[in-house]
Structure 1
Amino acid sequence: MPRPRRAGKSVNVSPSNGEELLPPCNGPKLHPFKGKSLNIDFQSLLNESSSSDSSSEGEGQGFVFKALIDSKPFAIKLFKFFNIEEARALFEDFQNDEMPDDVFVGNVDPFFAECRAYGRIDEFYKKHLGSKDPGLIAAPCYGYIYITKEQEASLRSQFGSLEWNRANSDADKQIRALVKQFIPNEPIDTKVRSIRRMVKDLKTLHSIGVYPRDICARNYRGGLLVDFGMALTEPSCVLNVLPEWIARKERKRDLGAFDEMIQELGIKTLVRAARTVDRQILTRTEYTQYGLRDDFVELDASGRRAKTARV
C-alpha cells in the first residue's frame, strides 16, 4: 500500500493555552487530542497486547483499537497502568539513586515514552514548516486522551475483561490513551525504495534523539513505525545512567534490529541499516563488570536483546 500522507486538516494538533502537555518533566512533550468530540465508537481490537515482549498475551503495554471519532477512523492505543517498583527493579541501586521518581516515570512509563517520542517528532515537523516537506517519519499521532469510566465500562461489555494492571492506588485513575492515524495492517513493501525509505526514517529518528528500541515487523504499518512504548528520547535519564560505551551501543541497537527484521521476513535486498562494526555481543564479563542487569544493555549480534543476565 502507498505510504500514508500527513493527515490532520480535520484535527487541530496545536496545543492551546492552559492545556497540559505531557509528560510533566524536562524534555519533549505531547499535546492533548483536539477532536470536535470525545464520543468514541470502538470498532475492533487490533491486538491482544501491544508490547515489546510478545511471549505471552496480555502482558504488554496496552491494547490498540480501531475506533471512530466523529465518524473518522483512528487507531487508539490504551495503556496499562505503570508499576514503578517493577520498572526500577531492572536497575541497580546506584542507577536508581540518579533518577528521581518523576523523571524516571516521565521517561520509562510506556505512555510517557510515546508522548516524549511524538513530542520530539512534532518538533521535527514544525522545524521544517515552510521548507521542503520531509514527509512522515512515523505513523501520525494526534495527541493523548483519557478514557472515561463510562467508556471503560463500554469496552468491557464489548470486548470482555481486559487486564489494565490497576493497583489499589490506581482505582480512581482514568486509563490513558494516544490517538493515532489508522493504517491497515499489510505486509511490509519489499521494494528496495520502500526499504531504503524505512532506513532513512529510522536514521532520521535517531538524528533527532528518538531511539524506538522495538524494531520488528508488527510495529510497522504502511512502512511507518507505529509503536514507541519502549523508546528512549533525548535527554534520557536512562541513557545518562549507563556507562557511555553501553549508551552508544544502545543508541545503535535499532539499526541491527532492522537488518534482522528484513532478514527474518526473507526480503532480498542489499540495503542495510547497520554497519558490521556496530554489531557486537556484550559478553557476560563485560555485562557484570558494570553491575548492570537490565534489558537496556545486553545485546546480541544484531543489536537486539540477548539472554537476560542477573548479577
Structure 2
Amino acid sequence: MEDLKHLPDVDGPKLELFGHDMLADDVEFLELVQRDGGHSRVIKIKIGDKCYALKIFTYKGTEPDVEDAYETRPTSTMSREVFEKHFTPFENECRAYGRLKELGREHLAVKAYGYVVMPVTEVLTQKLRLLESKYKYTKKIAKNEGDTTANMGIVKDWVDRVVTGPTLDCEFDQAAHDEICQVRHFPRMLRDLHRLHESGIVVRDLGIWQYMNGVLIDFSMAWTVPHPFGPGGGWKPRWEFQSWAAWDLYSFQVKVIEDWRDRMALRTGTDLLQYKGLPKTCSLRAYESLERARDLRPRPDRQHPFLPILNWEGYELDMV
C-alpha cells in the first residue's frame, strides 16, 4: 500500500489514500444505500464504532462526446489519458474533495476521508454478494467471474437523514421526508454553492436529491480547475465554466427551491402535521429566469445577445 499515491495522477488537486483496508475483519458492510446509481453504489459501513459511506464506482468511462472533444484541439498539449482523467466520476470526486481539503473548506460538502482500492478477492466478493442478497431488486455490485479489475471507492462521512416517524418505513418515503425538511438549510446550501464556485468547482448535476439533511454528497459530475474545459485550459472559451456555474444556480432554483414548492403544494392539512415547525413558503431565489429578467427594468448588462447556459439535459437556456 505504500506505493499508492494521491489521485488523480494529473495536475491539480488530489485525494489521499484512506488508511484502512476495506477487506479487514473489523469492516462491516451494513446497508446498501444507493442500489441503482448509474455509475456507483453507496454502502453504509462500520469501522470500529464509527459509520461511513463507502461509494464504489462501477463505471470507469468518461462522459459522452469527450473523445470527440479531445480531437478538437492540438492534442500535443495533453495526452488522451490525462485528458480523460478530468471526465470520469471517480477522478471528478477526487479532484473536488482534494480542492476542498486544500482550501480548508471541507464543510462545503460531506467530508471525504480518502480513496480506497479494493482488489477482487473471494473475501470482497462474499461481502458484496451477502449484501446484495438482502435486497429483492438491485443491480449487482460484485464483479462477474473473470473480471479482476480492482474496485475504486471513496470513503465519506455517514450522514443520517432527518429523524423519521414510524410510518416512514421505506427508503422512498424517508428520502421524500428528508428532502421536504431540507428547506431549513436552503439559505446555507445556496451560500455554500457560491463558495464552491469561488473554489473553482462546478457541480453540474444538482438537485434536492443530491443533498442529505442539507449536506451535498455527490461530486461525480463536478469539474474542478485546472481543467481542460476551464479558464485557460485551451479547449473551450473562457465563459464555459461561468456558464456551468450558472447551470448550478439555475438547477438550485428549479430542482431544489421550486421542486420543494411543488411538493409542499401537494401536501394536505393532515400531511402537514408531520412538518410542524417547518416554513410553509420559501422566497429564496438562486437564479433569475430569463422571463423574469425581461420583466425588470432594462439594464445595459442584460441586453442581448445572451450567452447560453450549458447543460447536459438538452435545455435551451440563456444566462441572465
1:48 aligns with 2:58: no
Gaps of 5+ in 2: 163-177, 265-280, 294-306
Whole-angstrom CA distance in 2 between matches of 1:238 and 1:166: 33
Structure index of larger Rg: 2
Matched residue SS, 2:5: coil
Matches within 5 A, 1:1-311: 19-35=4-20, 39=24, 40-50=27-37, 60-84=38-62, 88-89=66-67, 91=69, 93-95=71-73, 97=75, 100-125=79-104, 136-149=107-120, 150-159=123-132, 162-163=139-140, 171-186=147-162, 187-188=178-179, 194-239=185-230, 240=233, 241-260=235-254, 261-266=256-261, 268-276=281-289, 298-301=314-317
Whole-angstrom CA distance in 1 between matches of 2:62 and 2:183: 42
Aligned partner letter, 1:119: G
| Larger CA deviation: 222-231 vs 245-254 | 245-254
Distance 1:227 1:192, change over 3 A: closer
For the Cα contact (< 8 Å) 1:36–1:70, is it kept in 2? Answer: no
For the Cα contact (< 8 Å) 1:88–1:96, is it kept in 2? Answer: no
Matched residue SS, 1:21: coil
Whole-angstrom CA distance in 2 between matches of 1:17 and 1:193: 44
TM-score normalized by structure 2?
0.69
Aligned partner letter, 1:47: Q
For the Cα contact (< 8 Å) 1:140–1:181, is it kept in 2? Answer: yes
For the Cα contact (< 8 Å) 1:33–1:143, is it kept in 2? Answer: yes
Q: Deviations over 1:177-211 (max 9, x none)?
A: 00011112342465766211000111111101011
Whole-angstrom CA distance in 1 between matches of 2:61 and 2:74: 15
Q: Number of residues paired by the alignment?
A: 259
Aligned alpha-carbon RMSD (Å): 3.6
Whole-angstrom CA distance in 1 between matches of 2:285 and 2:63: 38
Q: Deviations over 1:208-256 (max 9, x none)?
A: 1011111112110121110000000001113332233444212321011
Of all paired residues, the percent bearing the same amino acid is: 27
For the Cα contact (< 8 Å) 1:82–1:109, is it kept in 2? Answer: yes
